[in-house]
């Protein structure tokens, strides 16, 4: 695991880096100027900055809504493994509804144990 300090150090170094004689992120309150990575903002420019941040947030929302559905629906490892285990269960047990109402007996328990053994054998290899 990476320590917190190793993750925070690049952020501090990036913000302390000098550009045009100033650090990368500087809020000069007495002069009412805000320097953000070489961009000089005055107080009246914050309306545009707020609009830009709102658009960035909406873009982030819509991209993650679309990409999240693609990731969680098709390529997420949990989804892939779940589909594999359901396939193994259907291969050994048949339809799920058929076994759900049966009492715990040797006839009902053996296909379930076989499905668990196959799935565990595939995972541990």
For residues 29 and 9, membership in a common domain is answered with yes
How many structural domains comprise the chain?
3
- Mean pLDDT of all residues in 18-26: 77
Show the domain range for 47: 42-75
Convert the pLDDT of each residue in 90-122 to its tens digit.
777 666 656 556 667 776 677 777 777 877 775
Q: Is 0.75 topped by the overall pTM?
A: no
Same domain? For 64 and 94 the reply is no
Check whether residue 83 and residue 123 sit in a common domain: yes
Asked whether residue 66 falls in the same domain as residue 48, the answer is yes
What is the per-residue pLDDT for 59? 95
Q: 82 in helix, strand or coil? A: helix
Q: 7 pLDDT band (50/70/90 cuts)?
A: confident
Cα 103 to chain centroid distance, Å, stands at 41
Same domain, 93 and 109: yes
Residue pLDDT, tens place only, 48-97: 889 988 999 999 999 888 888 777 777 778 777 788 888 877 777 666 65
64 & 102 share domain: no
């Amino acid at each position: 695991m990476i320590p917190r300090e190793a993750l925070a150090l690049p952020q501090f170094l990036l913000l302390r880096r000098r550009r045009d004689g100033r650090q990368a992120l500087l809020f000069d309150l007495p002069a009412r100027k805000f320097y953000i990575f070489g961009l000089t903002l005055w107080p009246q420019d914050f309306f545009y900055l707020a609009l830009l941040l709102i658009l960035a947030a909406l873009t982030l929302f819509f991209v993650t809504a679309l990409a999240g559905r693609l990731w969680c629906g098709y390529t997420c490892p949990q989804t892939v493994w779940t589909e594999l285990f359901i396939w193994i269960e259907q291969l050994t047990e048949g339809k799920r509804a058929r076994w759900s109402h049966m009492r715990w007996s040797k006839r009902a328990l053996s296909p379930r144990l076989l499905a668990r053994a196959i799935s565990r054998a595939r995972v541990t290899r």
